[in-house]
């Protein structure tokens, strides 16, 4: 679990049992624009909310799983 402000733009995370994508947009009060990947709705989430990092995958031409965004071990 991390605070929303600790993850990077383009990261996928779980918040209240839904998958979201973090965008680059921020408000002056610190809220960050995120898109729900299930229904496409935008949501402004406070930067100090706890989220769980996740990944999404696609299939290549040979039906192998390929990460949409690679993550490096820290």
Angle at 48 between CA 45 and CA 54, to 5 degrees: 70
Give the global pTM.
Answer: 0.85
Domains and CATH numbers, the chain: 2-67 (2.30.30)
- Segment 4-47, tens digit of pLDDT: 999 999 999 999 999 999 999 999 999 999 999 999 999 999 99
What is the arithmetic mean of pLDDT over 33-62?
95
Other C-beta atoms lying within 10 Å of the C-beta of residue 4:
21
Structure tokens at 52: 């769980």
């Amino acid at each position: 679990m991390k605070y929303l402000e600790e993850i990077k733009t383009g990261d996928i995370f779980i918040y209240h049992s839904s998958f979201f994508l973090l965008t680059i947009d921020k408000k002056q009060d610190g809220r960050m624009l995120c898109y729900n990947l299930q229904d496409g709705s935008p949501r402004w989430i406070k930067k100090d909310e706890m989220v769980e990092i996740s990944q999404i995958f696609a299939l290549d031409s040979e039906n192998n799983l390929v990460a949409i965004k690679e993550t490096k071990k820290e």
